[in-house]
Amino acid sequence: MIEEIRELRKRLDEAITYADEPMAQKIAQEGLAIAQDKELLGEMMYFKAQREIIGQNLREAVRFLDLAITYNPKDGAAYNDRALCMVDLGMINEAWYYFDKGIEVEPDYATIYHNKGWLLSKVGNYPEALEYYNKALQLEPDRAVTYENIADTLMHLGRSQEALAAYRKTLLLLSPAYRDIQEQIQSRIKTLEEEA
């Protein structure tokens, strides 16, 4: 994968994570244009899928992700996004397969560990979720969203002091562009400090 596309994918992941839909649309379109210009079929399908995900056309996104995987079977991000589509479509059992397959084909892709941790937390498997979040941080130590999810998971486990530290780390790493999220985390920190 060319570096320009790798960077666009990273920026797109962040924009989608923080619900910055206009930015996500812009990045997806830019990625698609570059992929078309360079005739990268797998990347074209990947960025087409992203546009469908942003538009909540998940079945169409799955169709494009399947094509992206066909053209590039080592694309962990395509497996990851297919798994997330499965979750949103209510097919959680199918999602596990795509997370695991993505980890198998691209074991150094931090986002897939993070997202599998997110789903494990969502279904109440907090200890295993922490293992996946920590693996994501081993690969990408400055992931603010992973620290935030670790903090949320630690709260479910009743480990409020560790959660407080993770929320503080989130604030240190979070882009100033996400002021509303910073305020939410500051509010959580204040509540935890008052309870201590």
pLDDT of 187 > 90? The answer is yes
Pairwise CA distance, residues 134 & 106, whole Å: 17
> Measured between alpha carbons, how far is 106 from 182 in angstroms, rounded to an integer?
31
The predicted structure's pLDDT at residue 42: 96
Please report, rounded to a whole number, the percentage of residues in the chain having pLDDT higher than 70: 99
Predicted local confidence at residue 166, as pLDDT = 98
Q: What is the pLDDT of residues 131-155, one digit of tens each?
A: 999 999 999 999 999 999 999 999 9
- pLDDT band, residue 1 (cuts 50/70/90): low
Q: Is 70 exceeded by the pLDDT of residue 112? A: yes
| pLDDT tens string 32-70 | 999 999 999 999 999 999 999 999 999 999 999 999 999
Return the pLDDT at 2.
83
Q: Are 64 and 46 within 8 A, CB to CB?
A: yes
CB 191 within 8 A of CB 152: no
> Given pLDDT bands bounded at 50, 70 and 90, which one contains residue 196?
confident
Nearest Cα neighbor of 17 from 138, 186, 140, 181 is: 181
Residues in Cβ contact with 181 at an 8 Å cutoff, skipping those fewer than 6 apart:
18, 174
Q: Is the pLDDT of residue 7 over 80?
A: yes
Distance CA 44, CA 10 (A): 16
For all residues of the chain together, what is the average pLDDT?
Answer: 95
| Residue 196 to residue 191: CA distance in whole angstroms | 9
Q: Is the pTM of this model over 0.95?
A: no
Nearest alpha-carbon partner for 75 in 44, 40, 102, 38 = 102
How far CA 14 is from CA of 19, 27, 156, 158, in Å, comes to: 8, 11, 25, 29
How far is 59 from 63, CA to CA, in rounded Å?
Answer: 6
Domains and CATH numbers, the chain: 1-107 (1.25.40.10), 109-196 (1.25.40.10)
